[in-house]
Amino acid sequence: MNTILNRIKSPKDLKDCSMKELSLLSKEIRSLIIEVVSKNGGHLSPNLGVVEMTIALHYVFDALEDKIIWDVGHQCYTHKILTGRKDQFSTLRQLDGLCGFPCREESEYDIYNTGHASTALSAALGMAVARDKENKEHQVVAVVGDGSLTGGVAWEALNQIGHLREKLIIVLNYNEMSISLNVGAMSKYLSYLVSGQHYLRMKDHAKTILKAIPAVGWPMIKAGRAIEEVIKKTFFPGLLFEELGIRYIGPVQGHSIGSLIEVFKDAKAHEGPVLILCVTKKGKGYPLAESNPAKYHSASPFDIQTGESTSTDKRTTYSSVFGKTVVDLADKDEKVMAITAAMPDGTGLRDFSQRFPDRFFDVGIAEQHAVDFATGLALSGYKPVVAIYSTFLQRAYDQLYHDVCLMDIPVVFGLDRSGIVPDDGPTHQGINDIVYLRHLPNMIVMAPKDENELRHMLKSALSYGHPVSVRFPKGKVIGVDQDGELNVIPLGKGEVLKEGKDLLIAFGSLVHPALEAAAKLEDDGIELAVVNARFAKPLDEDLILSYARSGSVVLTVEEGVTAGGFGSAVRELLDRKKIFDIRFKSIGLPDEIYPLGKVDQVKKMFKLDPDGLAQQIRQFYGK
């Protein structure tokens, strides 16, 4: 079938298309995105909302010369399709396939790898400054949206952008439902008059005429300025950006390619920073996503007709167990609070937000604020539980150290998406949290072997009176029975799951694979005691030392980076106790960038599945 999309080999081909053809192209791209995401999973709603915007950007700008940076990057599917990757698009989020985020290693059109929010403005400003120092003339464009302006980093950048006044274009992708009430027909008209290039030319021309009139010219100019300020403050939604020194244009209909092209061309002609507010609709073109954009923000494979998941695995997720447990704990203790950074659904806290709306706080994409906000609650006698992804908590490292751990404030951190994370690639791999938490003073680091132990750990974490992190993986639970009553786990105590001669001590999600590996090794004459560590800090020193006999073997297993991780903690313990006459091996992940793929695929690649663990241990024994 001879479609418009088949003619687009690179963004340059857009120049040969009429407005009608570009409109048809947007429909074809939406169909392709829906088709692929329904099979592979992915960020559906954000990408359906920016199709026209992306077409217009590539129509106006030269993406090989100009610099286009996508904030967060989860809305870059149309960009990938238009930049020569249409034929590979079916491999989206698959092993050896296209990443769901911008990837410099993947294409020369991707100039900045983004997976976390609020970073694009700072990077764009840096590129704009470098351009001007080198006397170059290319454009720098930052596409920001989906809550990125709730992040403090973005506002730090805006402050500097307004100060330096470098030529820079900010495209703010704003969801229709989030536009405030003052954005209507009158507001659109006034903002166009105040901000548009036509208005600016008229204003400059009027000033020239008025200056030539003796006595009354300057008073009239001053009066005109006063009237303009009144209009801005009464009706103008972009006043804040104007006050920061950034020219505001908008709102612009984000699904009108013609309007977008016109505005982008106007912005190119402006000297200095410009912010264009584009009003879009998440999930545009797919009614189910339009009516429930949150559900399809990051969707698992689904049936296009019904929107229902096509997964045959009906087990619940660790996130769901976490959320339900926090609700149960809050039912019994009115001091329990829940905090999330723009992830009420992803962290399983949606039910909590509905049951206890006055005890639930979504702070937006502001992880640093989330941590410090929790410290204030804890110091006032409340029990905050901060639900946050492992990779996102990295953004609040200083707050963890300076504001929580140094003061030994009892804040509980539920670290979702810890360990290997499927589909999203390197930016979302939660493989560093053991390392960056273990060395913090007063921090307790825990990980459950299954969903039932997760529930007990959350109960325990609220009772210890210290900062606590509880890490758990993304995905389905193991499927064990759950106890009715929750108990407090003795601080720093592991459990022996299998007796044996040498020690295999596993932390968190790899406990059950370690048990399977130990069973496989019995046929080779390798008798391993398997211990569920439960804690990476504090360690169960007595239990570990009871197995660390002269000439014995001590093996550690973790789903995280081994450099400074759980295995390092055990090795440090043995060194402190001057136990050197043993054979020791730490099994986990190397400190490198991890490939895109499913959890099972990546685990097998790094030999962290039961067969891989058995193979590594067998080789260590020389068998």
* CATH number of the domain enclosing 153: 3.40.50.970
Task: Note whether 331 and 324 are within 8 A (CB).
Answer: no
Burial class (CB in 10 A: 0-12, 13-18, 19+), 88: middle
pTM of the model: 0.86
Cβ neighbours, 10 Å, residue 61: 21
In a domain, 261, yes or no: yes
| pLDDT tens-place string over residues 518-528 | 999 999 999 99
Cβ neighbours, 10 Å, residue 135: 6
Claim to verify: residue 558 and residue 605 sit in the same structural domain: yes
- Residue 514 is predicted with a pLDDT of 98
Claim to verify: residue 370 and residue 393 sit in the same structural domain: yes
Claim to verify: residue 220 and residue 149 sit in the same structural domain: no
In a domain, 478, yes or no: no
Q: Which of 52, 106, 166, 367 is catalytic?
A: 367
In a domain, 348, yes or no: yes
Cβ neighbours, 10 Å, residue 90: 14
In a domain, 4, yes or no: no
Claim to verify: residue 355 and residue 387 sit in the same structural domain: yes
Q: Give the dihedral sign, CA 308/310/314/319.
A: negative
Q: What distance, in Å, lies between the first and last C-alpha atoms of the chain?
A: 59
Claim to verify: residue 380 and residue 458 sit in the same structural domain: yes
Claim to verify: residue 266 and residue 340 sit in the same structural domain: no
Claim to verify: residue 195 and residue 225 sit in the same structural domain: yes
Q: Where are the beta strands (DSSP E) in 221-374?
A: 247-253, 273-280, 336-340, 360-362
Claim to verify: residue 230 and residue 241 sit in the same structural domain: no
Under-50 pLDDT residues of the chain:
177-203, 228-235
Claim to verify: residue 565 and residue 451 sit in the same structural domain: no
Which residue is associated with the tokens 């092993």? Answer: 95
Claim to verify: residue 356 and residue 391 sit in the same structural domain: yes
In a domain, 451, yes or no: yes
- Nearest of 224, 239, 257 to residue 187 by alpha carbon: 239
Claim to verify: residue 176 and residue 210 sit in the same structural domain: no
Q: What is the CATH number of the domain that holds 515?
A: 3.40.50.920
Domain total in the chain = 4
Q: Give the separation between CA 244 and CA 319, rounded to whole angstroms.
A: 40
Contacts of 198 (CB under 8 A, 6+ apart): none
Task: Note whether 411 and 374 are within 8 A (CB).
Answer: yes
| 3-class SS of residue 26 | helix
- Residue 462 is predicted with a pLDDT of 98
Claim to verify: residue 242 and residue 222 sit in the same structural domain: no
Q: Reply yes or no on whether 104 is catalytic.
A: no
Q: Reply yes or no on whether 367 is catalytic.
A: yes
Q: Which of 395, 474, 537, 585 is catalytic?
A: 395
- Nearest of 67, 163, 76 to residue 108 by alpha carbon: 67
Which residue is associated with the tokens 């698992």? Answer: 300
Query: Domain span at residue 224?
Result: 185-235
Q: Reply yes or no on whether 571 is catalytic.
A: no
- Residue 237 is predicted with a pLDDT of 54
In a domain, 307, yes or no: no
Q: Which of 67, 93, 282, 534 is catalytic?
A: 282
In a domain, 73, yes or no: yes
Q: Which residues pair with 144 in a beta bridge?
A: 172
